[in-house]
Structure formats: structure tokens, C-alpha cells
Amino acid sequence: MKFVLVCVVVLLVVAGLRPAVAQKYAAIFNFGDSLVDAGNLVVDGIPDYLATARLPYGMTYFGTPPAAAPTAASSSTSSVPQEVGLPLLPPSKAKNATFHRGANFAITGATSLDTPYFQGRGLGHTVWNSGSLHTQIKWFQDMKASICNSSQECKDLFRRSLFIVGEFGGNDYNSPLFAFRPLEEVHTFVPDVVDSIGKGIEKLIAEGAVELVVPGVLPIGCFPVYLSIFRKQPEMYGSRSGCIKDLNTLSWVHNVALQRKIAELRAKHPGVRIIYADYYTPAMQFVLHAEKYGFLRQTPRACCGAPGVGEYNFNLTSKCGDLGSSACDDPSNHWSWDGIHYTEASYGHIAKGWLYGPFADPPILDSHHH
């Protein structure tokens, strides 16, 4: 069985943020994986294995699942277009959509690296990859003709646009992790994953991008899906967080390498603004300082799921949206929605931190930037 569970798509969420006036963009172009997928996987109908296309996904934002893209992903990037006065981004594969204000190229299961990389390591069966970063950039390049009439017109538009590149990396590491490869081996993927993200950023700069947001990965050791699958000795868990320490270290190492790559690219492209967006710090704060954000102080626990191993309310055979699962009464007091993705409340806090600080370097709506 392919581990599609970590790649599932979820609802679009919007944090109730004040309309920002500090900075406007002509368009937003978004690339990524299931954190930001607005329905590209389901434009031709809903695959049976995608429980996330059904209720309760989308219930806190849409009330009912939207007809066109029922599995639109829950993400802080969903908040960004509205915050800068733009409409929500259409999935790039949507029929009859207009893309002059931007498009969402993100797709479930997307990796930074192309599939042959995994196949060469005997991991072809664990990659559920329908569009790596480089495939998504090709979709973007193919779409240019429908957005602008000349390469100069495209350059002008892209110069006034915001490009969000990620999160990438999570699915790349899931491939060896869910094949139960040693963690030392998983660490060897980091330089290649980060180099690939760097190459993607440079392709977009070559297309005319001058403002790019590049998110890091999440502290996966805090997420109920990983806590349920990887059972560890007691000393392997953080005493205050209850998270798996060595999995969080993997995320941390990736993020440090990515920030180093961003610094290198900033030096190489001085006229380009590259923003590092932090998923790791806010997630750790939700766990360690839950009450500060209005969350219940508890072991990492899914709002929507079913009892399984431990106290995580996550069960592989009864995931959120499957028979036997149910949602908690108040998702706003949980940071984890389904053990895999955040709740709308969490994404609201993260989006705010990306737009205004402190969870982005520099903040997207940096008052010092004109």
C-alpha cells in the first residue's frame, strides 16, 4: 500500500485577518504539497482513497465542501491572498479559471526531488508523487501563454507578483521514513532536497520573480500521524513536548540547510527578495505554550480522528473523513486537525506571523520594504 495518508488534501482556510494595506501584489503564484493543494488532484473527480474530499473537511470555513475543489488544502498560504486584497487562488488545473491574479500549482504528495531520485534508492513504491516542484514549475511555464501576451508583459507581471515556493521536503523525507529506513539514511537526503529547492527558486527568478516566500518544514515529531506510526522508547520523547526528538531534529537540520541556501541565493541575486517562512517555531509554540494561542494543553492530539495507539486520537484505519472517525466539538482549541494537518486556528496564527513577523525573515508585509 502506498502511504497516501500523509499527503492528503484538506480544506482551504482563511484566518480572519485585517485587510493589509502595507503592500499589494498583482498576483500570487503558489507551489507546494498537500499543505497548500487547492484541488488539483480532484479536478477530474474524487479518488476513493481521498477521505479528505468529504466532510468534515472544510466545515469550519466552507460550511459544506466547495463543489469545484472539495479537497482544497488547509494552509496559511490560503490567508495570504486575502490579506493582500487578492481572491483565493484557483487550482492551476481548473477548467475555465482565470489566472491573471495568480494560480495554485500545489498538488498532494509533491516532493522537491523528481521520482527517479527515489526509484534509484529503491523507494519508488513509497513515493506518491503526481507533481514535484520542477513539474509544477513546468506547469507554470506552460500557463504563461494564457496569462500574458509577450515575455516582457510576463516579466512585468511577475515582477509585481508574490511567489510562494513550498513547503517542500516533507514528502521527500516521508518516502524513506515510511519505508522504515534508518534515520541516518534519511539525513543523507537533506542536501539533495535543499539543492533541488534552490534550483526551483532560481528557475522562478529566471522567469522574472523578484519576491519569493520559501517555507521550511514542520516539526514532524509532534504530529499524531508520526507519533502513532513510530513508537519509541520513553527517553526518545521530549519531556515537555511529548514529541519524538530525533524526527524533530531531522526537520531542524533541513530548515538550517534551507536557510543557508536562501542566504547563498540572496547574495547571488541581490535584486531579489527571498523570505524564509517558519513553520517549525509556531508549531513548537502551539505544543509548549498551548494556552497562549487558545489551545488545550494536552499531548499532541488530532481534533478529527478515532482512538488508536496512545492518546493521539489518530487511527490509520479510521482517519478523519473515514467511517468511525469524528471531529471534536471545538476545532479552534486544537492545533492539529486530523493528525496530519493543522486546524484553521493554527494556520491563522502562522499566516499572521508570516505576514507581520515574527515567523518570517523578513516578514512578507515588512513595513521597511517598499
What tens digit of pLDDT does each residue of 120-166 get?
999 988 777 667 999 999 999 998 988 889 999 999 999 999 999 99
Give 366's contacts (C-beta < 8 A, 6+ positions apart): 22, 357
Cell numbers placing 234: 520513553
Q: 270-287 as b/e, with b when 16 or more CB fall inside 10 Å?
A: eebbbbbbbbbebbbbbb
Closest CA to 7 of 132, 96, 122: 132
How far lies 185's CA from each of 83, 182, 257, in Å?
A: 41, 5, 16
Q: How confident is the model at residue 22 (pLDDT cuts 50, 70, 90)?
A: very low
User: How is residue 180 annotated by DSSP?
Assistant: T
Question: Cα angle at 5 between 280 and 176, to 5 degrees?
Answer: 70
Cβ-contact 345, 282 below 8 angstroms: no
**Angle between helix 133-147 and helix 151-159 axes, rounded to 10 deg:** 120
Cell 488544502 belongs to which residue?
73
Cβ-contact 53, 10 below 8 angstroms: no
Distance in Å from the first CA to the final CA of the chain = 50
Cβ-contact 105, 90 below 8 angstroms: no
**Cα–Cα distance measured from residue 9 to residue 166, given in angstroms and rounded to the nearest whole number:** 15
Give 341's contacts (C-beta < 8 A, 6+ positions apart): 8, 10, 34, 35, 73, 74
pLDDT exceeds cutoff 70 at 298? yes
Cell numbers placing 142: 506552460
Q: What pLDDT is attached to residue 49?
A: 35
The amino acid that residue 133 corresponds to is: L
Mean pLDDT of the region 62-87: 40
Cβ-contact 348, 79 below 8 angstroms: yes
Query: Per residue in 155-210, pLDDT tens?
Result: 999 999 999 999 999 999 999 998 999 999 999 999 999 999 999 999 999 999 99
**Cα–Cα distance measured from residue 57 to residue 38, given in angstroms and rounded to the nearest whole number:** 13
Cell numbers placing 123: 523507494
Cell numbers placing 176: 524513506
Beta bridge partners of 214: 276
Q: What pLDDT is attached to residue 244?
A: 97
Query: Per residue in 265-294, pLDDT tens?
Result: 999 999 999 999 999 999 999 999 999 999
Query: Per residue in 27-56, pLDDT tens?
Result: 889 998 865 433 333 333 333 433 333 334
Question: Cα angle at 180 between 176 and 185, to 5 degrees?
Answer: 50
According to DSSP, the β-strands at 273-277 and 360-361 are antiparallel
Cell numbers placing 282: 509556531
Which SS3 state, helix, strand or coil, does residue 130 take?
coil
Least confident window among 68-72, 108-112, 252-256, 313-317: 68-72
Q: What are phi and psi of 240, to 5 degrees?
A: -95, -35
Which residues participate in catalysis according to the annotation? 34, 338, 341
